[in-house]
Structure 1
Amino acid sequence: MRVTGRVGAHDLSFAGYTAAESSHSSNVTTSNPLDVPFLPFLSFESELDWVGAQAKDSWHWSTINSVVLGFDFEKVTSVSRSYTRTGDRTSPFSANSNKRTAGFYVENTLKLRDGRTVVAVGGRVDRITTETVDTPLKTNFTPSETTFTIFNPSLGIKHELVEGLRAHFAVGRAFIPAEASMLTGFTTTVVSGRTQISQGNPDLKPERSTSFDIGAEWTRPTTRFDVTAFRTVVKDRFISNVVVSNPAPPDPIILSVTNGLDAHISGLDVEAEQRLGGRVGVFANATHYFARKERLATGAEQDILNVPLNTVRAGVDVDFGRLSGRVSGRYVQGRRDNDFNTPGFPIIDYENLTVVDASVTYRLVRQHAIVLAINNVFDAFYYEKLGYPLQGASFKVSYRLGF
């Protein structure tokens, strides 16, 4: 629910929300012959609940200055349950948990030279508490609570060099707190006949990053082109599936998650848009990484997992009044990630992928519309994680009403 209004020079908005998500996973195949008589069987369930509130004030406090400030709060509750092949409850990998986030932010925008130069300065303070709680059947951890408070500033500048050509620059900080599963997770699996234990690390620190980008944007009535170079440096990066112990069989392999020393990525974004008359437009954007490295606790560097070397998106928009549509494609090349089907989860090269999506909207009267969306039009086989293929061709019809 959202309420908006204007009081003097203040544009105010207040919002509250709640959401719930549940998932159920079943084993349908197995490498363990003892599982075969029970297939398929429910192996895991999870529930996520969100509740939150937001308040924002946008205030034009002078002819050249405006400020946006706000406060938000969110609580996320996570519950998970694991089952044996016989249907009995067993200890889940992750403890039940909740995460509470309270944040305050402010950003002032200064417009000079009739808006040809724009400077935005802001910051956000977050206080995040992650708590693990008593979990049925999970006895290999101690419920605990961890709280982080952090300030993240930001600065952005746009400056018109000549008519239609703007330079832009931005710098800012961010952070990611550890999830409960990273702190307390514990599970035992059998991979290709070898027992493997994956355990959490209660001493994890949050990831912290500093990013900046610089570029130029050229615009004309029917054309837009933007080139941006960027660099991000991350401290205390989370590194998953680190081998803690790899003794000779039959003793288990032990994996965990740890903070890496650092990581750095740098690359180039290119965006282009072109109108071809009043009804057709084409667009494309590409991201190329010059470097995408993370340093391990051993001092060695490796590629950041599942970050592709190149990503290209392109498409066509058409608009014939009541009828409009879009066809877009995505090409991803140069990924590396873990092979979760091999003991020790070695890092391998992933296959490149191409996926095409399409949508058509037919507007009825006023705010009414019917939308047909087709995802993965050509039913391509692809995955973000090897062994976990994503959905093939899918169709969705929806009815939209705006007010």
Structure 2
Amino acid sequence: MRPTLLNAALWIALGVPAYASAETPADAAVDVHDLATITVTATRTERAIADVPNTVDVIDRAQLDRELVRDLKDLVRYEPGVSVGSGTGRFGIGDIRIRGLGGNRVRIETDGIAVSDSFAIGSFSNANRNFVDLDTLKRVEIVRGPASSLYGSDALGGVVTFVTKDPVDYLTEGKDAYFGMKFGFESDWDGLFTGATTAFGGERWSGLVAVSHRQGQETDNQGDNTTAGALRTASNPQSHDGRSLLTKLVYAPSADQRFKLTIEGNEGTTETDVMHLRGFQPSTRATTLSLWGDDHQTRARLSLAHEVDALDAAFADSLDWQVYRQDSETTQDTIEERITATGAAQRREREFNFDQRVVGAEITLHKEFATGAMQHTLTYGLDFSRTELRQKRDGRAIDLASGRVTNVVAPDVYPVRDFPISETTASALFVQDEISLADDAVRLVPGVRVDRFELRPQHDPIFAEDNPGIVPADITETNVSPKFGAVWKFHGDWSLFTNYARGFRSPPYNDVNLGFTNLQFGYATIPNPDLRPETSDGFELGVRYASPAVDLSVAGFLNRYDDFIESGVVVSQPPQSPLLVFQSRNVAEAEIRGVELKAGVQLGEWADVLQGWSLRSAASWQEGDDKTANRPLVSIDPARASLGVAYDQERWGVELAGRFAEHKRRLPDAAQFAPPGYGVLDLLAHWDFAPGAAINFGVFNLADRKYWDWSDVGGVGASSLVLDRYTRPGRAIAMSVAVSW
């Protein structure tokens, strides 16, 4: 049944009052009105959301705790227009999509440092971007739409910024030490987690250490076929184990400046019994007896930052800079035991490794000045990073009868690299001016960024042996990305905002130089040194209203994309060539358009009897087309909305929150599965039961509804016999207990 509240949710909203838990810094309470919340990502300056010319979401620590956010999918649970896919086999959380664009076209960064790319090839190799422990964060900011003018190539679709905790978040006047612990449980994956945070401070020095650990099993779905084989719909058995560390040491030589040394790392291991791949395999005529996956992911970051609040120089009033190194690595081992088509017992061992190491520096400066009646805030700076990328697949096949070992594991002859060891260098200069006119009734925000991108593949014997005669290509690209935004406070609490932003994405290393040859199956992939950058033009127009009782923001957007890079385009086939040849090509012109709404109502502002009651809602409708092929884009989510009713007192509160989606309507292929619309209710509660002690509790999918998220099922056929494999969990509970001193 299609949810009846979807259209109604467009006009109502809930602004939940700030309520700091024991784990939430005492000074991190968020203004009850979203439009008053401060964002930094949208303009690289601290501005209230009401003063920025584009749509941005800010999710603070209190909200993360209150909504029991565990992973990226939980993070955007109530954020229509932003979605996160998840796999059903062994690889879990996938990419973040903003307004229909995802993958490496969305920049994800932690404290200004980009998270590693994703890379996937074949059935046993999938490096995702789920590298951040959300318990180490104090805030998440999501900028919707192209942001290349401030953040460069990776921000074609938008930006997700993770901001980690600082010592000052826990140390108030007269308090020079803090210690807190947090324990939790989540039934949908039998997950247990615990964490501890300690902070100390003095006149000049302060520090913070935060550690956490998680462990659990596979995430439930609503499939009930538990057999081993292709018809299995229940989740594959898994075990998860993860841990993280965040340490910061801050030295403040004066009240106006701080040096900040950060060491951060996280590690996760997942073991999977891939039961749905057991049995007879028609493509190889072999029978898989067992298939196990052992996946390991690590990220470590070292950075030194310097913030100066009062520089008092002709070129800047304030500045911040940082230098950093970050290492990210994904290693995936697959062990398969099978009976071959000839009846031989065989053990196959495959290894996949994706390693990305980056060093970089950035500096941002701010200068305020006046020209006549105009007030200016000039923001400018430099970004530089150098990244080394390594990827390799290796493996062997062992005949269990004779013990003979071979590196030929069809269709590969190991070891192989799908692109050569490569080094990329990205450097950029950006400048932005925020111009205030008519006593700040009008705010103009022009800006421009110049990026230079260099790709330098290295001599790689492994790649050369697998791709004879192919010479990897160098790439050098320079791009200029302008933007212009405006905010007009035209009547009391009403304002209009508009924004134009140019976006671009450099040709990625794996598309430029992706190559492998498979003689057994008669195909090859060749590099394309002539790829052009992907570009976009993004337009946004919206209206906002902010009063003590109501917050409202409605925006329409139109994004046009040119020269989309599509991997695996057939460029030659027999009899024209001996093999079927694939290559990445600039093939697509695309357009994505939509409308987004957020609103909040504080009912107590209208009547004393309603004191403590509030509403919140958000909604998104978007539509997109591949203009080259004249067909709908598969990445576009159906219309979605969230709606909640909450009651809050000083020490406790409760909320009934709903998530809604329409039936998926426009599909590029009628044979694809179109998930039905749904409405799912969640119950959230929080209670500060003692000084420095709090409980957060949630029941998700309260009515135990069977439903599918479109971001999880793209490409699944409507005739599939295992559709229930892709369902979201049924009724589940989650809770956390936090105490602090």
TM-score of the pair, normalised by structure 1: 0.77
Map Cα deviations across residues 306-352 of structure 1 (whole Å, 9 max, x no partner): 223434455577766677898674748638899xxxxxxx9963543
Instruction: Tell me which amino acid in the other structure corresponds to 2:306.
Output: V
From 456, 463, 474, give the equivalent of 1:145.
Answer: 474
Contact kept, 8 Å, 1:67 with 1:106, in 2: the verdict is yes
Q: Is the 8 A contact 2:672 2:715 kept in 1?
A: no
What secondary structure, in the 3-state scheme, does the structure 1 residue paired with 2:507 have? coil
Any idea what the Cα deviations from partners look like across 1:222-251, whole Å, max 9, x if unmatched? 322222222122221112332334549xx7
Q: Does residue 293 in structure 1 map to residue 626 in structure 2? A: yes
Match of 1:168 in 2: 497
3-state DSSP of counterpart to 1:182: helix
Counterpart selection for 1:334 from 651, 661, 664? 664
2:672 to 335, 339, 349: 349
Structure 1 residues 115-138: Cα deviation after superposition (integer angstroms, max 9, x where no partner): 111111111111111222223411
Q: Is 2:312 aligned against 1:4?
A: no
Q: Pick which of 145-154 and 16-25 moved more.
A: 16-25
Q: Does 1:38 align with 2:347?
A: yes
Residue deviations 1:65-119 (CA, integer Å, cap 9, x gap): 2111111112222111101343854212222222211111111111122211111
What is the total number of aligned residue pairs between the two structures?
A: 385
Aligned counterpart in structure 2 of residue 112 of structure 1, from 423, 432, 437: 437
Within 5 A, what are the aligned runs for 1:18-37? 18-27=325-334, 33=340, 37=346
2:382 to 71, 78, 83: 71
The one-letter code matched in structure 2 to 1:166 is S
Q: Does residue 58 of structure 1 match 2:366?
A: yes
Query: Is this contact kept in 2: 1:335–1:352, CA < 8 A?
Result: no
1:31/1:168 CA distance change after superposition, 3 Å: farther
Distance 1:109 1:173, change over 3 A: same
CA distance in 2, matches of 1:373, 1:71: 44
Q: 1:132 to 1:194 in 2, by over 3 A?
A: same
More divergent stretch after superposition (166-175 vs 307-316)? 307-316
Equivalent position of 1:93 in the other structure? 418
Kept in 2, the 8 Å contact 1:331–1:352? The answer is: no
Note closer, same or farther for the CA distance 1:158–1:267 as it changes in structure 2 (3 Å cut): same
SS in 2 for 1:137: helix
Match of 1:242 in 2: 569
Secondary structure of the equivalent of 2:369?
coil
Report whether the alignment pairs 1:124 with 2:453.
no
Q: Which structure: larger Rg?
A: 2
- Report the AA paired with residue 234 of structure 1: Y
Instruction: Please state if 1:135 is matched with 2:460.
Output: yes
CA RMSD of aligned residues (A): 4.3
Judging changes above 3 Å, is the alpha-carbon distance between structure 1 residues 397 and 84 closer, same or farther for their aligned structure 2 residues? farther
Alpha-carbon separation, structure 2, partners of 1:368 and 1:74: 43
- Structure 1 residues 329-380: Cα deviation after superposition (integer angstroms, max 9, x where no partner): 4748638899xxxxxxx99635438799998888899999998999999797
How has the CA–CA distance of structure 1 residues 102 and 336 changed in structure 2, closer, same or farther, with 3 Å as cutoff? farther
Shift of 1:263: 2.1
Aligned to 2:61: none
Query: CA, structure 1 residues 165+400, in 2 after alignment: closer, same or farther (shift >3 Å)?
Result: farther
Q: 3-state DSSP class of the match of 2:510?
A: helix
Task: Give, in whole Å, the separation in 2 of the partners of 1:398 and 1:131.
Answer: 50
Query: Is the Cα–Cα contact under 8 Å of residues 675 and 708 in structure 2 kept in the other structure?
Result: no
Find 2:583's aligned residue among 234, 242, 256: 256
- The unaligned stretches of length 5 or more in structure 2 are 1-303, 398-405, 408-413, 605-610, 717-724
**Greater share of residues in helix:** 2
How far off its partner does 1:64 sit? 1.8
**Aligned residue type for 2:664:** G
Provide the identity percentage: 18
For residue 149 of structure 1, report the CA deviation from its aligned partner: 0.9
Tell me how far apart the structure 2 counterparts of residues 400 and 136 of structure 1 sit (CA, whole Å).
56
Deviates more, 1:4-13 or 1:364-373: 364-373
Shift of 1:163: 1.2
Return the alpha-carbon distance in structure 1 between the equivalents of residues 684 and 460 of structure 2.
44
Shift of 1:172: 1.8
- Worse-matched range after superposition: 85-94 or 222-231: 85-94
Q: Which moved more, 1:323-332 or 1:94-103?
A: 323-332
Please name the residue that 1:212 is paired with.
539
Residue type at the aligned position of 2:357: D
Higher alpha-carbon deviation: 217-226 or 202-211: 217-226
Q: 1:303 aligns with which of 632, 636, 640?
A: 632
Judge which range, 232-241 or 268-277, deviates more. 268-277
Please say if residues 69 and 107 of structure 1, whose CA atoms lie closer than 8 Å, have aligned partners that are also in contact: yes
Maintained 8 Å contact 1:3/1:14: yes
Tell me how far apart the structure 2 counterparts of residues 134 and 363 of structure 1 sit (CA, whole Å).
Answer: 61
CA, structure 1 residues 150+57, in 2 after alignment: closer, same or farther (shift >3 Å)? same
Counterpart amino acid of 2:424? K
- For residue 394 of structure 2, the aligned residue among 76, 83, 87 is 83
Distance 1:184 1:109 in 2: 41
TM-superposed deviation, 1:211: 1.3
Partner amino acid for 1:349? Answer: Q
For residues 356 and 143 of structure 1, what CA distance do their matches in structure 2 show?
53
Contact 1:264–1:294 (Cα < 8 Å) also in 2:
yes
Give the counterpart letter for 1:206 in structure 2: P
Q: Work out whether residues 43 and 83 of structure 1, in 8 Å CA contact, stay in contact via their aligned partners in 2.
A: yes
- Retained in 1: the 8 A contact 2:367–2:379? yes
2:551 corresponds to: 224
Structure 1 unaligned regions, length at least 5: 339-345
Residue 504 of structure 2 is aligned to residue 201 of structure 1: no
Distance (whole Å) between structure 2 residues aligned to residue 146 and residue 76 of structure 1? 14
Higher strand share: 1
- TM-superposed CA distance for 1:262, in Å, is 2.3
Bigger drift between 129-138 and 22-31 goes to: 22-31
Is 1:99–1:131's contact at 8 Å kept on the other side of the alignment?
yes
Whole-Å separation in 1 of the counterparts to 2:588 and 2:571: 17
